[in-house]
Amino acid sequence: MRNYHVRLLDIQKADDAAALMQQIGTDIHGVSLMKNKMVHYNFRVGPLPPAAANIIKQEMLSVGGEAAVTRGVINCSANDSDAILSATRKQFRKFCQKLRAQPFSLASMADKIQTSLQLQEKSTGLPFKCRGLDIDLKQRSLIMGILNVTPDSFSDGNRFLSLENALNQARKLVEEGADILDIGGESTRPGAAQVNEEEELNRVLPVIETLRRDFPQLPISIDTYKSRVAAAALNVGADIINDISAFNFDPKMAEVAAATDAYTCLMHIQGTPNAMQTDPVYSDLFAEICHYFEKSIKLASDAGVKREKLILDPGIGFGKTLEHNLLLLKHLNDFTGFNLPLLIGTSRKSFISKLTGDPVDQRLSASLATVAQALTKGANIARVHDVAATKQAVTVIDAINHIQR
């Protein structure tokens, strides 16, 4: 009797499928024909009127894919419906062709699906060009070192408030391997007090000015949601705006980003730092964050900010429960459809202590675990306090994530 080996395969992209078929000696023409049939894509689309949802379902089934819709769509008793679509690349191509002949603006939906698939399959990568950095973020992850020039930050408040201490810490982070330094002059921990613009400027500008002189090729980020602070920081040498409100707290921030051609990180937050952790509730966590990003990307576009200058951050700990944070880390890939760099900030955060019970100064191992998870699930930039240990971890994570079969 023969002993057959049966093995479940992890095929995430067409190139994986092609490599596996080549290993067993599949004909080159067969590889070309079959590789796109071995990778499934899943989309959530909507909201759709019942008639449109019925069309979506029937057209997807007709090409061999699957479509899940709201109960009540078939007899139009539902008011509207989202749909979850699952199919191969080839099936989606046929499906999109069919949608373009349908009413309810379904042709525009087909265009969006087609564009998303093309972006996912682009071989050009995710370029990031800032000061001395000119890399493909799909090939190498970046480490953003945190420098809080504040008296009340949750992890290192009051440690680097003086210019001398701040500069010494910055130099240490650079020596340890930080690709970017993120300078913040106002704590945004839950319940933190607001700081006026003058005080924030007095804290950050001397640090940025000195670092720009000492490290001319180092990208520097200003962590602020105030347009005046951002503009002043960029004027003395900063390159990146890290806005926890994604242009929502200060409408002029998008204008500053456009005028200076700065990179901008758009972070999701529910509420404000003062009350964001009181009782964060979502009807659909991922849908709401995606809609928030879409709104902020439009604000950027309307102001003249180039899309390739945007970075997204789902905002771990900013209006999120423990469950929300864990779900975001587990399913971070849901945000890669924007085809923009993803930044993740989990370092030493309080949700870790809810799992481990450790105080803030003993959360390094757990923080590294979250970085590993995030980078494996699509993040490109890790914002951290502990650069040396993270550098070691990221080197290994990148090697694993980018090895080819």
SS3 212: helix
DSSP state of 377: T
pLDDT on residue 324 = 97
CATH 3.40.50.1580 for domain 127-402, yes or no, is no
pLDDT on residue 162 = 81
Query: Which are the catalytic amino acids?
Result: 349, 383
One-character DSSP codes across 90-136: HHHHHHHHHHTTSSTTHHHHHHHHHHHHHHHH-SS--EEEETTEEEE
- Measured CA to CA, the distance from residue 394 to residue 367 in angstroms comes to 12
pLDDT on residue 155 = 56
Instruction: State the pTM of this model.
Output: 0.90
* Per-residue tens of pLDDT for the chain, all 405 residues: 888 888 888 888 888 899 999 998 999 999 998 988 888 899 999 899 999 999 999 999 999 999 999 998 888 888 888 999 999 988 999 999 999 999 999 999 999 999 888 877 665 689 999 999 999 999 999 999 999 998 756 555 556 668 888 899 999 999 999 999 999 999 887 777 788 999 999 999 999 999 999 999 999 999 999 999 999 999 999 999 999 999 999 989 999 999 999 999 999 999 888 777 778 899 999 999 999 999 999 999 999 999 999 999 999 999 999 999 999 999 999 999 899 999 999 999 999 999 999 999 999 999 999 999 999 999 999 999 999 999 999 999 999 998 887
Domain 40-121: assigned CATH number: 3.30.1370
SS3 291: helix
- Measured CA to CA, the distance from residue 240 to residue 305 in angstroms comes to 13
Is residue 313 within 8 A of residue 267, CB to CB? The reply is yes
Domain ranges of the chain: 1-38, 40-121, 127-402
Tell me whether domains 40-121 and 127-402 share a fold.
Answer: no
